[in-house]
Amino acid sequence: MRSVLCFGLVALLGAAALPGSANAQSGPCVDSVVLVHGNTGRPSDFDNTVSALRARGVPANRIFRPDWGSKVCAACNDHSGSEEVPVEQALIDAAALSCTGRIDVIGHSMGATLAARVIQRVGLASRVDGFVGIAGAFRGLRSCGTYPFNVPSSTCGAHGLSLASPLINGLAGRRFGSRMFSIKSFSDQVVCVTGICTVGGIHSSQISGEAASYTFVLGHFGLLTGTAQLQADLVR
């Protein structure tokens, strides 16, 4: 499946719509937007964000919400294989249908690192304008332990969020878009569950090379639902 999608990426992006091209759909010429929910989450988690984007003129058919991963076993999900497929397809579709030739990506929690992983793997960073990571663990989760002495679960394993895992090391210092932003909280029940939000003195939700980081006194899920206006502002 992965090879098919990667082939599709090359083919579709080669023919992707440029501003004013016949491939562009009717409506305002804006970036397509991909919204990636968190571990065991659902596309509807982004309903507030969709409303904010629509209010800023993004057509409904330019907003993509892939549905990935198990909904009943959080520990079973990681950043490799079947979890990647829906996200990769959404990125391919969004890029192919974008009037501007660029896309914006917003991810929440594990969806932020999953989106980053897929963007990196398929070489799509140059096509991403704005990348927003909300309550992500870009530097790992202390609750997962340190690789290879991590909590024995997929979510915390080599393709997961343990400190210094191959996944986390592979994301370090990489770009996932022209403009990168993080939205974080020191009250985050997931990133800060051990009582410490930082890794190496930096909040784990912050992205290396980001343009800005925004801090709120909100919980892990409140960061998603309560910052929809900011999310839309950052990618418009």
pTM for this model (two decimals): 0.91
The alpha carbon of residue 28 and the mean position of all alpha carbons in its chain are separated, in whole angstroms, by 24
CATH architecture of residue range(s) 8-13+26-235: 3-Layer(aba) Sandwich (3.40)
Whether pLDDT at 222 is above 50 = yes
Domain definitions of the chain by residue range? 8-13+26-235
pLDDT tens by residue, 170-202: 999 999 999 999 999 999 999 999 999 999 999
CB 183 within 8 A of CB 231: yes
Query: Which of 38, 53, 179, 176 has the alpha carbon at shortest distance from 110?
Result: 38
pLDDT for residue 13: 55
Strand ranges, E, within the chain: 32-36, 63-64, 103-108, 128-134, 145-146, 149-150, 179-184, 198-199, 202-203, 212-215
% helix / strand / coil in the chain, to the nearest 5?
A: 40, 15, 45
